[in-house]
Amino acid sequence: GDLSEEQEGIVIAHFGQLLNIEALEGEDKGEIHSCHVRANIESLVTGDRVIWRAGKDLTGVIEARLERQTILQRPDNFGNLKPVAANIDYIVIVIAPEPEPFQGLVDRYIVAAETVGIPPVILLNKTDLLTDENRKPIDDMMALYESLGYHTIRASVKSSTGDDSNKGMSELLDWLDQHTSVFVGQSGVGKSSLIQALLPEHDIRVGALSENTRKGTHTTTTAKLFHLPSGGDLVDSPGIREFGLWHIGEQELLEGFIEFRPHLGFCRFRDCHHEKEPKCAILAAVESGEISERRMDSYRRIKHAIADQNARGLMLR
Ligand code: GDP
Ligand code: ZN
């Protein structure tokens, strides 16, 4: 009747029952339609590819969800995993000289990325704030992640012309091109500033604010997909920026330290906690230098923090 042929689209935002679908093909390519979902489709999230039909006046109906390449999930209050965004290619973990990066926190973000199977990229922002005092520990940290095989980028939003900071921003743009990425990281590292610089037409903060007052606080948790003028997409929401601080299980934590993986399963005891056990393959790898002390310390810290969290959770229940 009033609906067009089936076509492919992408979820770029949602507002309650309605989803904004961008046409990916045909005459409507690039057009955004506010669509209903057929009742038989499981929850759709930003980044999902769908089959849909366009209706009149930029409306439409979503018929099916296409297979997801990746899915970012977060646990709800009951510990059930809920999808937050789909088809994310990179999790860009932003750090900066200020606020000072903590290895444990960065490792937590990396573990979370490894757990969902999305490659993390470590982005050092604010290179303009590097000094003789803070440079060494940051260089060491970046070198450690490079040695583990992670891609690292150094950039500065506040790049003064002539220094190598602009090179960093263009390296970042190249990396984001052709992919869908999210920015995560501690508050104050410059995520908003980066997004602002990459998407000059959008005022992310003002946008979030005005929506807030119009529709209530729940809108702030829904992710939106933005096209970068230079190519590639960004998915952003306050919830996504906190990705990695959500709950991690003990096994996920262990496997999230990629250099531990070749040693897992080789401890003498099957239920080894890799603490003081004899013939522990992980501890042996630390001893031989295959696993760095820093990463092992960080693993222990995160493990204890999780155990504390769980203990508190049990007491509340
Ligand atoms: P967010 O909390 O991660 O979103 O961080 P913001 O984008 O709000 O940035 C926090 C502060 O760092 C702001 O005052 C920014 O102006 C500043 N900032 C962001 N990027 C840079 C940078 O590359 N260099 C310097 N010097 N300051 C920056
Ligand atoms: Zn062990």
The ligand that comes nearest to the alpha carbon of residue 265 is 2
Which pLDDT does position 43 carry in this prediction? Answer: 86
The ligand that comes nearest to the alpha carbon of residue 267 is 2
| Residue showing tokens 């089959």 | 51
Ligand 1 cavity residues, CB under 6 Å: 125-126, 128-129, 156-158, 187-193
Which pLDDT does position 14 carry in this prediction? Answer: 86
Residue 191, CA atoms < 13 Å, CB-side half-sphere: 26
Mean pLDDT, the chain, rounded, equals: 88
Which residue among 156, 193, 204 has the greatest number of ligand 1 atoms within 8 angstroms of its CB, and so is best to mutate? 193
**Nearest C-alpha to atom 20 of ligand 1 is from which residue?**
190
Residue 40 CA, chain-centre distance (Å), reads 29
| Number of neighbouring beta carbons within 10 Å of residue 271 | 6
Which pLDDT does position 255 carry in this prediction? Answer: 96
Cα–ligand 2 centroid distance for 112 (angstroms): 22
Cα–ligand 2 centroid distance for 281 (angstroms): 5
- How are the residues of the chain apportioned to helix, strand and coil, as percentages rounded to the nearest 5? 35, 25, 40
Which pLDDT does position 234 carry in this prediction? Answer: 97
Pick the atom of ligand 1 nearest to 185's CA: 3
| Secondary structure (3-state) at 223 | coil
Pick the atom of ligand 1 nearest to 183's CA: 3
Cα–ligand 1 centroid distance for 221 (angstroms): 22
**53-75: pLDDT as tens digits:** 999 999 999 999 999 999 998 87
Cα–ligand 2 centroid distance for 294 (angstroms): 17
Which pLDDT does position 317 carry in this prediction? Answer: 39
The CA distance from 309 to 143, in Å, is 31
Which pLDDT does position 307 carry in this prediction? Answer: 85
Pick the atom of ligand 1 nearest to 157's CA: 23
The ligand that comes nearest to the alpha carbon of residue 269 is 2
The ligand that comes nearest to the alpha carbon of residue 270 is 2
Can you give the pLDDT of all 317 residues of the chain as single tens digits? 688 899 999 999 988 789 999 999 988 899 999 999 987 788 899 999 999 999 999 999 999 999 999 999 887 777 788 889 999 999 999 999 999 999 999 999 999 999 999 999 999 999 999 999 999 999 999 999 999 999 999 999 987 555 555 789 999 999 999 999 999 999 999 999 999 999 877 655 433 433 444 444 444 458 999 999 989 999 999 888 888 777 788 889 999 999 999 999 999 999 999 999 999 999 999 999 999 999 999 999 999 988 887 777 665 43
**82-94: pLDDT as tens digits:** 889 999 999 999 9
**165-177: pLDDT as tens digits:** 578 999 999 999 9
Q: What is the pTM of this model?
A: 0.91
